[in-house]
Amino acid sequence: MNKLFLWLAMLPAPLWRILGADTDQLTAILNMRLMIDNRRPIGFGRRQAQKKDVKHGTLIHTFMFTMMGCFYAIPVYVISDRVISMALYFTLLLLMITLTLITDFSNALFDNRDKYTLFPRPINDRTLVLAKLLHVFIYVLRMVIPMSLAAWASLAYLDGWRSALLFPLPLILMVFMGLFAVNGVYLIILKFVKAERFKDVISYFQVISSVIFFAIVYLRPQQMFSFDTNSTLRAADYQWVHFVPTYWLATYWSLIGYPLTLGGSMLLAVLGLAVPLVCIYILVRWLAPEFSRKIRY
């Protein structure tokens, strides 16, 4: 599986060369990091150093994310309004992806071994920045693809081929927003703490976010996932969803014939496309290089 993701990451190699990266070095760095990921201990947001390495960690993570995806796909079944059900689904998925990246992937981003293995080598900054970005993107894909399988299959079964064919577009746009949010949080934290204390701050963040997330899920489960109550949820009852980015992504279903109870579907659909693209441009142009400089020096 890692070979497939590496091939996909290096498919636009001419573009990476135009951006100033050395593609041979980029391939070698990504290959090394993917092999390390495959032997990383299983755990979300916890310290990994005290655990033994796990062989075939990628396959184990894939199975775990697939099971989690079945839980997040519940709104697709229980909410009759397709737009609001997809808005809720993308919200849950985006929160999970963002929290997981913030708390778990920091161990890879702040690997002190880079200071001794990569930084002294004749590798330019653009290659290093692009290697980190592609590594994060591959990591997200390995998480998002299995997580989205249940919802994707549900849409194909309940709505037909048009809904299933549309699904990957807002999913990719959601990933762009998640990457932007994660890098933004990292940079904000690094403005107040040194890189050496970053992991400690992330650990506190993980504890607080986990308490809030599971409290929301477990304190009112019957209201959140009841077939009797949620099947009648309508966007018209929640005017504030106009300002929620995940709702913008869900409005794409109104373009293939599903009713939208709130007006402005075309404007919201344009926002759903433009905002993630602007986010990824800002990420590549400013946030990622700034983040790389802060953790390097």
- Position 235 in a domain: no
pLDDT at 39: 65
Structure tokens of 233? 């949820």
- Provide the residue-wise pLDDT of the chain in tens; the chain has 297 residues: 778 888 888 888 888 888 788 899 999 989 988 887 776 654 444 444 444 445 555 677 788 889 989 988 988 988 888 888 899 899 989 988 888 777 766 665 666 666 667 767 788 777 887 888 788 888 888 889 999 999 999 999 999 999 999 999 999 999 889 888 887 887 788 777 776 677 777 777 777 876 776 666 555 544 444 545 445 566 666 677 888 899 999 999 988 888 776 666 788 889 999 999 888 888 777 777 776 676 665
For residue 51, the tally of other CB atoms under 10 A from its CB is: 12
Structural domain boundaries enclosing 135: 2-229+276-296
- Position 267 in a domain: no
Structure tokens of 160? 């037909």
pLDDT at 90: 95
Q: What are phi and psi of 119, to 5 degrees?
A: -60, -40
- How far apart CA 15 and CA 285 sit, in angstroms, is 15
- Position 241 in a domain: no
pLDDT at 51: 46
pLDDT at 131: 84
pLDDT at 135: 85
pLDDT at 149: 94
Contacts of 282 (CB under 8 A, 6+ apart): 180
- Position 244 in a domain: no
Q: What is the pTM of this model?
A: 0.80
- How far apart CA 35 and CA 23 sit, in angstroms, is 18
Secondary structure class of 279 (helix, strand, coil): helix
Q: Considering its fold, how many domains does the chain have in total?
A: 1
- Position 245 in a domain: no
Helices (H), the chain: 2-10, 13-18, 23-38, 57-72, 74-78, 82-104, 106-109, 113-117, 125-158, 161-166, 168-192, 198-219, 221-225, 227-230, 245-250, 265-282, 288-296
- Position 131 in a domain: yes
- Position 242 in a domain: no
